[in-house]
C-alpha cells in the first residue's frame, strides 16, 4: 500500500468518524438538514483535495474552517434571500413539564431571529467554544467586530427569551 493510499484511508476513517458531529454543527449554521449535509460534503471534498498540504494529521480544524467560510460566503451571495423566522412567535410555546424541550425550541427560534452574522458568532463562541480571536480568524474580521456582534446577539436573546431565565454569559 502506498503513502497516498494510506493518506486516503486515513482521511476516509476521519470522515466516517467525524461526519455526524460536523453535520450537527453545519445544521446550526444552515438550519436545514439537507443544506447541512451538503455543506459538510463540500468541506470534506475541499479538505480531501488539499490533504497533502495540511500541516496536521487531524484535519478537523481545517474542515470546520472551510465549512464556516463557505456558509458565510453563501450568506453573502444570497443576502437578498432570507428565511424569515420572525413570523414564528415564541409566545406559542406551551408550558408543560418538559422545560428543556421548551427551552430548546425557544432558543432555536430565537437564534433564527438573530441576524446571520450574530447567529454565526453565537454558534462559534458557545456551541463550538471558540475564543473571540479564533472566531475573528474564522470569519475574517476583527476581534472588536466579534465582540460587538456577540454582545448585540446576547442582548437580543435576552429580550426574546425573558421567560426562560437563561443566564447568558457575556464576554469580558
**Domains present along the chain, CATH in parentheses:** 1-81 (1.10.1740), 84-172 (1.10.10.10)
Q: What is the pTM of this model?
A: 0.51
Q: Give tens-digit pLDDT for 22-72.
A: 999 999 888 889 999 999 999 999 988 877 776 666 788 888 889 998 888
Q: What is the reported pLDDT for 47?
A: 87
Q: Does the pLDDT of residue 153 top 90, yes or no?
A: yes
Cell 468518524 belongs to 17
What's the angle, vertex CA 136, arms to CA 131 and CA 142, rounded to 5?
Answer: 125
DSSP string, 82-101: ----TTS-GGGPPP-S-HHH
Choice between 17 and 171, residue whose per-residue pLDDT is larger:
17
Question: Which of 73-77, 85-89, 157-161 holds the top average pLDDT?
Answer: 157-161
What span, in angstroms and rounded, lies between the C-alpha atoms of 141 and 123?
16
- Return phi, psi of residue 129, to 5°: 60, 45
- Asked if 31 contacts 49 with a C-beta cutoff of 8 angstroms, the reply is no
What span, in angstroms and rounded, lies between the C-alpha atoms of 42 and 38?
6
Residue 45 has a CB neighbour count (10 Å cut-off) of 12
Q: What is the reported pLDDT for 55?
A: 63
Q: What is the reported pLDDT for 161?
A: 83
106 to 17, 145, 148, 165, 168: CA distances (angstroms): 31, 26, 23, 12, 14
Choice between 101 and 152, residue whose per-residue pLDDT is larger:
152
Confidence of residue 10 (pLDDT cuts 50, 70, 90): confident
- Supply the mean pLDDT for the chain: 79
Q: What is the reported pLDDT for 109?
A: 86
Sequence-distant contacts of 114-120: CB under 8 A, at least 24 apart: 114/153, 114/156, 114/157, 116/75, 116/82, 117/72, 117/75, 117/149, 118/149, 118/150, 118/152, 118/153, 118/156, 119/153, 120/29, 120/68, 120/71, 120/72
Q: What is the reported pLDDT for 83?
A: 43
Q: Give tens-digit pLDDT for 98-140.
A: 556 777 788 888 888 999 899 999 989 988 889 999 999 988 9
Amino acid at each position: 500500500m502506498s503513502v497516498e493510499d494510506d493518506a486516503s484511508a486515513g482521511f476516509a476513517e476521519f470522515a466516517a468518524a467525524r461526519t455526524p458531529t460536523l453535520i450537527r454543527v453545519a445544521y446550526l449554521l444552515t438550519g436545514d438538514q439537507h443544506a447541512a449535509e451538503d455543506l459538510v460534503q463540500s468541506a470534506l471534498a475541499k479538505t480531501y483535495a488539499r490533504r497533502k498540504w495540511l500541516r496536521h494529521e487531524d484535519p478537523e480544524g481545517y474542515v470546520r474552517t472551510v465549512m464556516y467560510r463557505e456558509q458565510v460566503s453563501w450568506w453573502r451571495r444570497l443576502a437578498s434571500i432570507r428565511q424569515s423566522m420572525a413570523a414564528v412567535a415564541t409566545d406559542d410555546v406551551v408550558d408543560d413539564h418538559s422545560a428543556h424541550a421548551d427551552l430548546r425550541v425557544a432558543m432555536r427560534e430565537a437564534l433564527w431571529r438573530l441576524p446571520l452574522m450574530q447567529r454565526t458568532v453565537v454558534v462559534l463562541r458557545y456551541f463550538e467554544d471558540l475564543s473571540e480571536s479564533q472566531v475573528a480568524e474564522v470569519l475574517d474580521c476583527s476581534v472588536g467586530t466579534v465582540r460587538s456582534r456577540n454582545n448585540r446577539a446576547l442582548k437580543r436573546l435576552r429580550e426574546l427569551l425573558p421567560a426562560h431565565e437563561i443566564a447568558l454569559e457575556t464576554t469580558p
